[in-house]
Amino acid sequence: MKPSHHNTHINGAGNCKGNCSHQHGDWNAFIFQRRHLLIWFLAALIPFAVVRSYFSHSPAVYEVETSHEETSVQTSEHRSTPVPILNRAGDSLVGHNSSVINQDGDCDLSTGEWIPDPSGPFYTNATCRAIQEHQNCMKHGRPDTGYLNYRWKPMNCELPRFNASRFLELMRGKILAFVGDSIGRNHMQSLVCLLSQVEDPRDIYNDGTDKFRRWLFPSYNFTLAVLWSPFLVKEMTKKIEGSASEQLQLYLDVVDKNWTSQLHEFDIVLLSGGQWFLKAALYLEKDEVIGCHYCPGTNFTQLGFYFAYRKALRLALKSINTSPDYKGLTFLRTFTPDHFENGRWDNGGTCERTVPFKKNEIAVEGMNAEMYKIQLEEFEKAAKEGAARGLKFRLINTTWASLLRPDGHPGPYRYPYPFAKDKNAKVQNDCLHWCLPGPIDAWNEFLLEMLKREST
């Protein structure tokens, strides 16, 4: 049945001879069929739209290894079809809880690109004493400096450069705590370096491992704390009977008291993490094993690390929401991608790029997309519950900005002058943590802009 045939009926209705009602009946039946077809088609599109918006692609299999306290992951050798991160200002999972700085919601800090900026970094290894050795790329002889000459440009607005004096004024008399893993500590150390250009802080507490540490900026009575909690929940490590190996156990229904016991002291809490969940582990609830991630040779159910991370993050956010003594502002910083290429951290993986990716050269996909999705979903639930209790939750969405910076990692320069004796030396790379100074400093520009918005 051709549309042109029915157009003849419509256009010639005034001149119809004979039984026009039969023709009108045919046309009405056609319209009825077309309407049903259209409704069916639109309904069929809804699941695809939902899947696309949540990045629901089948994740690749990732192996987990550990090196001292730091965890790295295997990057997928066979990437799925790229799915760009879509953080529109109107996205219900981002929206008013994200890094939007305009009151009308038209400007989202999380989407944009890195553009050249010849002004360079605010500090160097000579002007900041808080840089951890593994991230001290300048001191360790990294030869290129171009990675220091970019700034983040959001899609529809300008992100001002970091203003240390303004940050300290906003934080006068407050305590800001970073809770998470070594990337969270990396983030905190960047902030210490940025602020120390205005006032050199006093190191008022250090547990000797840098896992728990506090800095005081005396002129502003502002304390910056970092608390080590890579899983956010209770963890234990037990030796495997008859083996020299150890087995990690995560209690997914017991929050880590190392940070929640201090929650009442803090005015602002910044949660982050996720990478450590890739470690092989047994998962427990009510002191009983309910499953595991990578536990060959056992009868335990393989639940996977996505399951554990969702449970742990949900419990952590719930603990904040139900704390009787915490009335502060809570930030969740989104998942940080690594940039290992040609292997993992432990089998020759490297990060040799010296310039940022263009926005059409890479996408949030695979594990990065799934961890990001979990964060958005759990954050939205917690933010709604918190709002009902008068608590504020905000999302610092740095995933896309971080993904575009494969050039910002220490790589082989986690070690001092790794090629001094042999230019072809095989050196373990760090493509997960960030050079200081480096792209991670922009995370604190995100943070400052959001704090400014909270103060208005």
Confidence of residue 456 (pLDDT cuts 50, 70, 90): confident
Show Cβ contacts of residue 397 under 8 Å, excluding neighbours closer than 6 positions.
87, 94, 98, 99, 108, 109, 110, 334, 446
Query: Which pLDDT belongs to residue 278?
Result: 95
Looking at per-residue confidence, does 228 or 57 come out higher? Answer: 228
For 313-329, how does the pLDDT look when each residue is reduced to its tens digit (9 = 90+)?
Answer: 999 999 999 999 999 99
Q: How does residue 344 score in pLDDT terms, banded at 50, 70 and 90?
A: confident
Could you read off the pLDDT of 284-307 as tens digits, one per residue?
Answer: 999 999 999 999 988 999 999 999
The whole-number average pLDDT for the span 154-160 is 93
Round to whole Å and give the CA distance between 308 and 320: 19
The pLDDT of 87-94, averaged and rounded, is 35
Place 244 in a pLDDT band, splitting at 50, 70 and 90: low
Give yes or no for a contact between 110 and 397, defined as CB atoms under 8 angstroms apart.
yes
Higher pLDDT, 408 or 26: 408
Catalytic residue positions?
182, 430, 433
DSSP string for 362-419: ----HHHHHHHHHHHHHHHHHHHHHHHTT-EEEEE--HHHHHT-GGGS-BGGGSSSTT
Nearest CA-CA partner of 229 in 257, 268, 249: 257
Indicate if the pLDDT at residue 13 is higher than 50. Answer: no
Over range 2-30, report the average pLDDT.
Answer: 40
- Dist. CA 423–CA 39, nearest whole Å: 65
3-class secondary-structure state, position 253 = strand
Taking alpha carbons only, the member of 218, 124, 172, 152 closest to residue 359 is 152
Per-residue confidence at 74, pLDDT binned at 50, 70, 90?
Answer: very low
Report the C-alpha gap between 266 and 218 in whole angstroms. 17
pLDDT at site 245: 76
What does the alpha-carbon distance between residue 84 and residue 111 come to, in Å, rounded to a whole number?
Answer: 10
Q: What is the pTM of this model?
A: 0.80
Residue 80 has pLDDT above 60, yes or no: no
Res 126 pLDDT > 70: yes
**Confidence check: pLDDT of 30 > 80:** no
Instruction: Specify the pLDDT at position 242.
Output: 61
Please give the Cα distance from 25 to 22 (Å, whole number). Answer: 5
What is d(CA 85, CA 66) in angstroms, rounded to the nearest whole number?
29
Look-up of token digits 């970094």: 121
Residue 6: predicted pLDDT: 38
What mean pLDDT comes out for the span 145-173? Answer: 97
**Nearest of 139, 182, 191, 133 to residue 162 by alpha carbon:** 191
pLDDT for 208-222, tens place per residue? 999 999 999 999 999
Q: In the predicted model, is pLDDT for residue 198 greater than 80?
A: yes
The predicted-structure confidence for 352-405, as pLDDT tens digits, reads as follows 999 999 989 999 999 999 999 999 999 999 999 999 999 999 999 999 999 999
Kindly state the average pLDDT of the residues 222-240.
Answer: 95
CA-CA distance, 340 to 275, in Å (whole number)? 14
Which is it for the CA torsion 302, 307, 313, 317, positive or negative?
negative
Provide the 10 A C-beta neighbour count for residue 317. Answer: 22
